[in-house]
Structure 1
Amino acid sequence: MPKLKDKTVIVTGGAGGIGGATCRRFAAEGAKVAVFDMNIVAAQKVANEIKASGGVAAAFECDITDRAAVDTAVAATVAQLGPIDVLVNNAGWDVFKPFTKTTPDQWERLIAINLTGALHMHHAVLPGMAARKCGRIVNISSDAARVGSSGEAVYAACKGGLVAFSKTIAREHARHGITVNVVCPGPTDTALFAEYKEGAGNPEKLMEAFTRAIPLGRIGQPEDLPGAIVFFASDDAAFITGQALSVSGGLTMNG
């Protein structure tokens, strides 16, 4: 039997590289997948791919920086797919510049998407999980949160905040049978990473440097992440909470 049969899963940023791969993997494990994204056309494409493969999925337009939009999308998910069993906070955005070249307007947007948006999602979903005394939350942070990353100061700050927040929520809601864990990708071949390379001014040289620095000898692919995410969402991880796991080909190694 699939690990997550009939579980209702929300994946924010579900139309992107890591998000789309994660949605498809959850569907393959038997879950009913709610694809949350600002780009409803792209979200619908992911949902349609899942349904064409025999899975259950629905697309929901959602700007996670807008609490009213979050509440509406979560309520629609519950009405269509059932109570939320798993929340994956994957949506993210970045500006690739030295900190002194960034502006307060950019900080506000970075914080709204990468931190406040995740808070909105937790606040909307946790009461239902607590009432049912079960639930899994997997937050997608970044290795930038663990070791820093030049040109990503505010992004790293948000992702570091998400790790600390996750550990606190894991403590607060352990008594409700809810686990909260974090997956920290390293450099991964997504549209966001493509922007990072372009911002560096010499994409080929940057790729070569990253490839040399990663012990496994390659940049991550979106498909490298869903295994860890699904593991934390499954009963195999029922006794694991408040943990952060790097999925970075060994680029960072933390004991």
Structure 2
Amino acid sequence: MNTTFLIHTFWLSISGIPLTILITGAALLLGLPLGFGLAWIKIRKIKVLYPLAVAYTSLIRATPMVLLILLFYSTLPSFLNVIINKHFHLGIKVFDINPVIYAIIVFALIAIANLSEVFRSAILTIDPGQKEAALMVGLSPTQIYRRIIIPQALVSAIPNIGNLTLNILKGTSLAFMMAVPEITAVAKTAASYTYNYTEAYIDIFVIYFILGAILQVIFKFLERYLGRHKLKRTA
């Protein structure tokens, strides 16, 4: 065990944390509103959009994360190059686009599909009588969703949103396959010069363990805070 390399690479790998958090946060910011919209489409069973939403959700959730990353990183740039440059002749250098953008797209697609099911199940747990009562007092459907359904659904969905966030955070370790310099990529690059891969993997494990523990504490706090807030409102 090379202790010097272990300590040096640990501090070196920490430099990849901001990028890991950026990808995770951006994926969730895109996934929350779009996931809710997808859930709404599936609950209301809107014609044309409903089968597309179901097919999208099933396809993304059934496809391994590694395969999605490989498909998008190897296929999407070539597809965009054909559309943008060969058809529209815009002269944009598609292959020079920062791979972080592709990573955010992949994880956002995963977040949207999974959050749609999280929100769908959370909304369906709300008593339909509340909606009927709100309609009777003159609230519009938009007001009902904004003031009654969404706040309650969010409280119910927090644990599952936390689990999904943790999975996306861990999944960003696969972004090294897209040449994204996140935690895993930094550690593996350092190990490639000296072949101290065992020490590098220990560093990766420790960093993700710490990040995961912090994330779980944050969502536990949110769950308790929103739960108390809900009780106060209903009291």
TM-score band, normalised by shorter chain: under 0.3
Normalised TM-score (structure 1): 0.25
Q: Which has the higher helix share?
A: 2
Higher CA-based Rg? 2
TM-score relative to the length of structure 2: 0.26
